[in-house]
Each structure stands twice: as C-alpha cells, then as structure tokens.
A and B are shown apart, each in its own frame.
Chain A
Amino acid sequence: EPEVTQTPSHQVTQMGQEVILRCVPISNHLYFYWYRQILGQKVEFLVSFYNNEISEKSEIFDDQFSVERPDGSNFTLKIRSTKLEDSAMYFCASSEGGAGESYEQYFGPGTRLTVT
C-alpha cells in the first residue's frame, strides 16, 4: 500500500541553525500538508500546498518557515533559524483532493526535531 515517507526520523540541531525536513507524498496525490505536534500537545496545522503554491497557512507558519516541492516527488519544510520552541514532531501528509472534495489525508511517520 502506498505511504507517505519522511526523512530523517530524528534531527538534532542547534538554536539558530537552518533545518530542512523532507517528505515524499503518495505519488498520485495533489495536496500536501505539514503539521507539528509539540510533546504532550495537540497536532497543529502549519500549511497546505497545491499546484506549487501555498493554499493555506496558520498563524504558526511565519517568515521562519518555508515549503517547497523541488522536484516531482519531494516536499520539504525549511525552518530558517531554529528556536528552542520549534522542538516538536513534524508530520507531513498528502491527499488526492482538497478539503472541499473530502479526501482523506494520509500522514507520514513524522520527524522528531530537537533544538538545543
């Protein structure tokens, strides 16, 4: 069964460093998403991406964050200058269609980001 994959599974970085989290969505999916889950808290929506541009973003997704689909398979989340509070599990998800079409979102296993 097709699945969303994410690399690395765990990333440790120092405060102020840039990190890139990578995701390979399911191949025929058109919508891509990033979420984060701070330990012990809710899963929070960050951004959705369709047709090579951001379609929606939350208040969390500020200028420190950016997303890109550099080729036909990868979807990346970049954090330019990491802060301690960016430590969280980051999940990538994809779906065939958008919310109004009511397609399920399929999630990857997550990347645990630890900022020291």
Chain B
Amino acid sequence: KQEVTQIPAALSVPEGENLVLNCSFTDSAIYNLQWFRQDPGKGLTSLLLIQSSQREQTSGRLNASLDKSSGRSTLYIAASQPGDSATYLCAVWNTGNQFYFGTGTSLTVIP
C-alpha cells in the first residue's frame, strides 16, 4: 500500500524567506502528484499538479519538482508571505487508481 510522508510536520519562518517542503512516497507507480494547501476548517486548494513524466512545474512563487524513481517531491516557495500560512498537502494518484495523501506540513510565516 502506498505511504506518503511529509517532512517537516511543522515549519515557522520569517516573512521573505525561501523555503522547501518535502514529500516522499513508497510506491513509484504513480500517474501524478498534486500539491494542495488547506486553510483551517476549509477545503483543499490545488496548487500544482506534476504528471509522472514531468520533472517540475511552476506557478508564480511556487515550484514543485518530482523524482519518481526515488519517490520524492519538493515544493519550493519563494519570498514567503504571511498569507502563505496554511497546511500544505501532497497527494499521489497510484496506478492502482487511488489517491493517497501525505501527513501535511503546517507552515507559519511570521510578519
């Protein structure tokens, strides 16, 4: 069964810093990997989707990379802002046709 882990579980940084969130998965037979943000008590907002054949995707200040063979993805956030404070989740869609979520990284950006 696919296991998705995110490190660190929590991260606190001063505004303006660049930061990296990590996601690892045990089964490399995936269709894609998607990064989400979740605000307290709210739904999930899709940030980026990387297909299994891709190495990276960029959207604004966000850059996500994927190394399928080693079972790793990173989400890079440039010039962090207080509005970036949220929980960040990665999720992989397995070729077994189920979507597995990671444990999440809770990010706090201090003004």
Tell me the A residues contacting B by CB distance below 8 Å. 4, 33, 35, 42-45, 48, 55-56, 58, 91, 93, 99-100, 102-110
Contacts and interface: CB of A to CB of B under 8 A. Distances in A.
B77 interface: no
A35 B51 CA distance: 22
Contact of A107 (B45, B93, B102): B45
Overall SS of chain B's interface: strand
Interface size class of B (residues with CB under 8 A): 20 to 34
B44 A107 contact: yes
B46 interface: yes
B97 A102 contact: no
A33 B99 contact: yes
Given A102-B31, A105-B34, A45 B46 contact: no
Contact of B34 (A35, A48, A104): A104
Contact of A44 (B31, B44, B49, B101): B101
A48 B51 contact: no
B101 A109 contact: no
Contacts of A107: 36, 43-46
Contact of B43 (A42, A58, A104, A110): A110
Contacts of A43: 44, 89, 91, 101
A107 B49 CA distance: 14
